[in-house]
Chains A and B, each alone.
Chain A
């Protein structure tokens, strides 16, 4: 039977390095009930429903402007779908 999109996990794997620390912290701050797993060289963030990345949160921690396009430098892989990718926000979720 179909399991509702809101209760299925989505996630993203990010390179774990100094450049990405602010990004990871921003994701942690903006997403409750995040599951975090560290593996050599990478960090895996998963969450049920949807995962949000806010430009403002990243910039606040980074202390410089950050375009959402920059997320491409950090990401290794993801699961779910990019249902939103705009100037101020990226959202990963399942559509159905």
Chain B
């Protein structure tokens, strides 16, 4: 539905992909662990290898939960935008289908 207005109402998104250059926003969600109250939003290069995301970022980040075992991420089940994903650790986020404001979800 169009916004009711006295003129032709159209304004751009305040979070469009172009605003982040070679980077993009990604929401990382540890499903089933409400200790992190919501999914986390990060800004990552689109070209970042999936393996670097897991090993260099997430394994450290989630240690805020004292029960987190970093190695458990090696066998995590992944989904991107609600679809199953078997990640290629060498390939970039983009090549793994992780786009701007994608929801990257894992369960342990």
Touch between chains A and B, by CB atoms below 8 Å? no
